Amino acid sequence: MSRPVVLVTGGAKRIGSAICRAFGAAGWHVVVHYGRSAADAEALAASLPSAEVHQAELDGWDAGPAMVAAVARKHADFRALVNNASIFENDGAQGLDPATFDQAMQINAGSPARMTQAFFAHSQATDLRCAIQILDQKLDNPNPDFFSYTMSKHALASTIPMMAMAAAHATDRVYGLCPGAILASHDQTLDEADRSHMRNLLSRRTWPEEIADAALFLASGALASGELLFVDSGQHLLAQSRDVIYLEREGLDA
């Protein structure tokens, strides 16, 4: 195969599917990971110039790294890993839910960290190798909602400078990509999302395609390893007292 290879976790739907389409259009072979969305993954892969699907559950320690190793064995130019898969369940700063915490820390932090380690251990690509962690603008603009989710994203973000320092090769890259509010999430309606997602400095929606273009840019290795890139229309520069879901529902200014 002459195409570089990218594995996108949670690639079957939402932002993940936009990332897959961007890489596919740019000439990459795309490995679309899914957990339970087999039909969506197959349909997306069929629509791309060169793609395949791979199923793995990321709520344990071993399936994710095993998937990464399998892709590396199959594809000599496995050049990029995009850890996009995530869960977004609500608990609060005054009431952490242990089950929500355990699941968020495993899927959103532990598994991506282990998959990144597996990627750099097994990838045979001889040029640039790049791991991109999809994070959240909440890193710079935290609020008390989605407490375990936010902790998990902070935990994953903390791995980026450490892994950048531990890189085996000068051309290895580890990045964080931090979206703002993009699509309807949790229990939002589409109308609520349309309104709440304008709560940023530019008063505009940020679209999945912008995140996908940013991921493709990072995969070029243009930035120094360890960098974070925010794509959120300036949301992270605000101080929002609650998640935008609740700011909009409760008519709060910030």
Cα-based angle 163, 128, 117 (whole degrees, multiple of 5): 30
Q: What is the pLDDT of residue 252?
A: 80
Q: Looking at the predicted structure, is the pLDDT value of residue 1 above 80?
A: no
Nearest to 86 by CA among 68, 106, 70: 106
pLDDT tens figures, 183-226: 888 888 889 889 999 999 999 999 999 999 999 999 999 999 99
Q: Which residues does 97 contact at the CB level (< 8 Å), separation at least 6?
A: 91, 148
Q: What is the pLDDT of residue 28?
A: 98
Instruction: Answer positive or negative: Cα dihedral of 159, 160, 162, 163.
Output: positive
Q: Looking at the predicted structure, is the pLDDT value of residue 237 above 80?
A: yes
Q: What is the pLDDT of residue 186?
A: 81
Q: Looking at the predicted structure, is the pLDDT value of residue 147 above 90?
A: yes
Q: Looking at the predicted structure, is the pLDDT value of residue 176 above 80?
A: yes
pTM: 0.96
Nearest to 103 by CA among 158, 37, 35, 39: 35
Q: What is the pLDDT of residue 206?
A: 95
Q: Looking at the predicted structure, is the pLDDT value of residue 6 above 90?
A: yes
The DSSP line for 163-208 is HHHT-SSTTEEEEEEEE-S-S--TT--HHHHHHHTT-STT-S---H
pLDDT category of residue 5 using cuts at 50, 70 and 90: very high
Q: Average pLDDT of 110-133?
A: 97
The interaxial angle of helices 98-105 and 147-165, nearest 10 deg, is: 30
Q: What is the pLDDT of residue 106?
A: 98
Report whether 239 contacts 141 (CB < 8 A): yes
Longest C-alpha distance within the chain, in Å?
54
pLDDT category of residue 253 using cuts at 50, 70 and 90: confident
Q: Looking at the predicted structure, is the pLDDT value of residue 254 above 80?
A: no
Cα-based angle 145, 82, 41 (whole degrees, multiple of 5): 90
Q: How far apart are CA 140 and CA 57, in angstroms?
A: 30
Residue with tokens 């559950």: 57
Q: Looking at the predicted structure, is the pLDDT value of residue 228 above 90?
A: yes
pLDDT tens figures, 26-64: 999 999 999 999 999 999 999 999 999 999 999 999 999
CATH superfamily of 5-250: NAD(P)-binding Rossmann-like Domain (3.40.50.720)
Parse the chain into domains and list their residue ranges. 5-250
